[in-house]
Amino acid sequence: MTEDERAADFYAFFERHHAELSRLAYLLTGEADAADDLAADAMVALWHRWDRARRADSAAAYARGIVANLARSRIRSTVRERRRVLLFWSHRPERTDGPDIAAVMDVRAALDTLPFRKRACVVLRHAFDLSEKDTAAALGISVGTVKSQTSKGTAELQRLLGARAADELVGRGSR
């Protein structure tokens, strides 16, 4: 394959999958701006490994795995940054406000409560409609782990969203 053919092949892949990878990054991180950056970074990494990715069973699954790893790193980095900020401001007295029930009804907020692996399994299985096998390949875990993490994550989301929906109804009734 010539360099021009290789570039054309990658460009076609980019056109088909960039939006999907950006959407995956958004669903994993909850940050729209970061999602585009992560998808772009994944594409750069994929370009550097394009010959290997093309030979994989699925270049798209290979790319999803890169996005998942980049998202995991970003989340970890964000958590560390937030801890540093909390430490910096910890000398101030704590103040807590009541929860905004309407805001926490959002599925995004419920997804954010899930640990990364559960969130990734639920997102890939339900939002991207991937098979258990494709999800396992994207995340580098076993099919059994995908099954258990998806089941547990879905149950947690149902419990969270169901309880919050009930609280919202009670809150409206008492206003």
DSSP secondary structure of 150-168? HHHHHHHHHHHHHHHHHHH
User: What token pair was written down for 142?
Assistant: 């076993």
pLDDT tens digits in sequence order for the chain, 175 residues long: 799 999 999 999 999 999 999 999 999 999 998 999 999 999 999 999 998 888 888 999 999 999 999 999 998 888 888 777 777 666 655 555 665 545 344 578 788 899 999 999 998 998 888 999 999 998 999 999 999 999 999 889 888 877 554 344 334 333 3
Q: What's the whole-model pTM score?
A: 0.57
Tokens 């990734």: give the residue.
120
